[in-house]
Amino acid sequence: MKKFFGAFIFAFNLSCAGFAGPLGLGLKAGVALDNQNLPHLISGITQGTYLGVTGGAFADIQVVDFLSVQPEVDFIQKGLQLNFDPLMTAVSNQTQVYNYLEFPLLLKLQTGLAPGLKGYLLTGPALNVLLNENITFAFRDGTPPESADDTKYIQGSQWSLTFGGGVELEGLILDIRYDLGLDSATETSVIDRTYGQLNALTFELGYRLL
């Protein structure tokens, strides 16, 4: 995975150095609606959506009028909640939270919609580097929740594919995108790596500084 990370940083630097067009910079923040691909849940366990936070900085490197390269550095929380049938256990639910530093490298197609207003579509890969993973158990009897750090059991990085779009009005940005997990984020002891991908639907507000 270190080789993949090195290749990603090389591509990031190349994109910044290879184009002579205008350079834009900005900040953004918002929320992420998360779930995990878990097709083998037993009867009595249901999966819920986790609401996380996300935010970061982006560069906008213009190639031509309608096309830009947009590298980013983001923090994003991904996770899920599992709800248990009361007849199964005293635990009411289990919440897993994965905190990532994410490095998307996106192609951005943009067009003017009205004076001062433009719309855009974007897509590209993202490298997600795990900062930590925490699991919390909530109990039905009012016992205080119990948490544990499970970071050491999770693969340190995963790839995802980002696609979405948004609008920009005089430097103010509304961005909606979907982050599709490509690698399993289940514990490394799980042999079957075809499931466990983390997905996130994000809604962000941003501001272009340059």
CB 204 within 8 A of CB 26: no
CATH of the domain at 174: 2.40.160.20
Task: Find out whether 180 and 31 touch, Cβ atoms under 8 Å.
Answer: no
CA distance 200 to 76: 9
Length of the chain: 210
Alpha-carbon dihedral sign for residues 161, 105, 109, 168? positive
Count of domains for the chain: 1
Name the one residue in this structure whose structure tokens are 């980013």: 72
For the record, the structure tokens of 160 come out as 């995802």
86-125 pLDDT per residue, tens? 888 899 999 999 999 999 999 999 999 999 999 999 999 9
Mean pLDDT, rounded, of the chain: 91
Residue 193: predicted pLDDT: 92
Q: pLDDT tens digits, residue range 48-59?
A: 999 999 999 999
Q: Hey, how many other C-beta atoms are within 10 angstroms of the C-beta on 17?
A: 9
Question: Can you give the residue range of the structural domain that contains 65?
Answer: 2-208
| Alpha carbons 202 and 200: distance in angstroms, whole number | 6
Per-residue pLDDT tens over the stretch 143-201: 999 999 999 999 999 999 999 999 999 999 999 999 999 999 999 999 999 999 999 99
